Amino acid sequence: MWCVPEIGLGTFGIGGDFWRRDDSNDFEWVRALRRGFELGLRLVDTSELYGDGHAEELIKIAASGVEEVLVVSKIHPTTLEPEEVFKRLSRSAERLGRRPWIAMLHWVPAGYTICDVVKVLEAAVARGLADHYGLSNVTHSQLASALTCAKKLQPAAVENRYSLRYRRDELDVLPLAQREGLLYLGYSALERGALALDPLLGSIGRRYEKSAVQIALNWYTKIPNVVPVVKASNARHVEEIAQSIGWEIKEEDWKLIDKQFYIYRLQY
């Protein structure tokens, strides 16, 4: 079994945007990631797209001397020709200074099926380009098909959008992942900061002397297999994230939050 942290660090917007490199805040980004690793948040989600690979380079610097960092890295190939996929994963490993723990594609490319994705990622793991593979932005039917067409290795994880304000996956994808023992990584866990301003989360937080962010993240950690992914924007924010775990909100408060946001299961 893996020792997976309860919260993962996200790197979208770190090192630049999609395909656009930005070196202007490297010191603070590395400091934030390093602080997260020091506090035990050693699962980090990244992509070759983020800053045109610069986010992966920053992870390499921040993780220097830290052995147990679980890197989930995504690629976005134009085709699923094995050599292109293998080349992209090899370049990610070079930038990271280690092979990914889990390799994924951002999406199923146009003209291909989920089984095509599974086939090439199985081959990549067999080549030693990643320890495991996962699936990102998939539907229930795609995940079910992937589990059927996997020949040698089952996927280790699913990564989809998931938050208190986007709970659609609770209807089908999440139960399937839980039933199959897959890790479920939920990106956009704080809805770009919107949950930090939520009145209910804030009022509950005051009773625990915690922030709305910490209440929301603690709520997720009580759901089996779910690991929320939160952007590691600066060291202070990472410290706030780390203080979301190691304690539990009461069952009645968990249910109150669940009820308040239940409608977001149906709105998507």
pLDDT in tens, 47-84: 999 999 999 999 999 999 998 999 999 999 999 999 99
Res. 111 pLDDT band, cuts 50 70 90: very high
Length of the chain in terms of residues written: 268
Asked whether the predicted pLDDT for residue 1 surpasses 50, the reply is: no
The number of CA neighbours under 13 Å toward the Cβ of 153 is 21
How far lies 17's CA from each of 25, 32, 37, in Å?
Answer: 13, 18, 23
> Within the chain, where are the H helices?
26-38, 54-62, 82-96, 114-126, 140-149, 173-179, 199-208, 212-221, 235-242, 251-260
Average pLDDT, the chain: 96
Instruction: Return the structure tokens found at 81.
Output: 């020709």
Report the predicted TM-score, pTM, of the whole model to 2 decimal places: 0.96
User: Residue 19 has what pLDDT?
Assistant: 83
* CB contact set of 161 (below 8 Å; sequence gap of 6+): 137, 169, 186, 187, 188
- β-pairing verdict for 102-105 and 157-161: unpaired
User: Residue 14 has what pLDDT?
Assistant: 95
Averaged pLDDT for residues 154-181: 98
- pLDDT tens across 134-145, in order? 999 999 999 999
* CB contact set of 241 (below 8 Å; sequence gap of 6+): 7, 9, 36, 41, 213, 214, 217, 230, 232
* CB contact set of 3 (below 8 Å; sequence gap of 6+): 68
Res. 3 pLDDT band, cuts 50 70 90: confident
H or E element, residue 194: none
- pLDDT tens across 194-226, in order? 999 999 999 999 999 999 999 999 999 999 999
- β-pairing verdict for 8-10 and 132-136: unpaired
Going along the chain from its start, the domains and CATH numbers come out as 8-265 (3.20.20.100)
User: Residue 233 has what pLDDT?
Assistant: 87
Q: What percent of the chain has pLDDT over 70?
A: 99
Asked whether 160 and 187 are in contact (CB, 8 A), the reply is: yes
Asked whether the predicted pLDDT for residue 4 surpasses 50, the reply is: yes
Averaged pLDDT for residues 165-192: 97
Asked whether the predicted pLDDT for residue 146 surpasses 90, the reply is: yes
Tell me which residue of 203, 217, 148, 205 sits closest to 180, measured CA to CA.
148
Provide φ and ψ at 232, rounded to 5°.
-90, 70
Averaged pLDDT for residues 163-175: 98
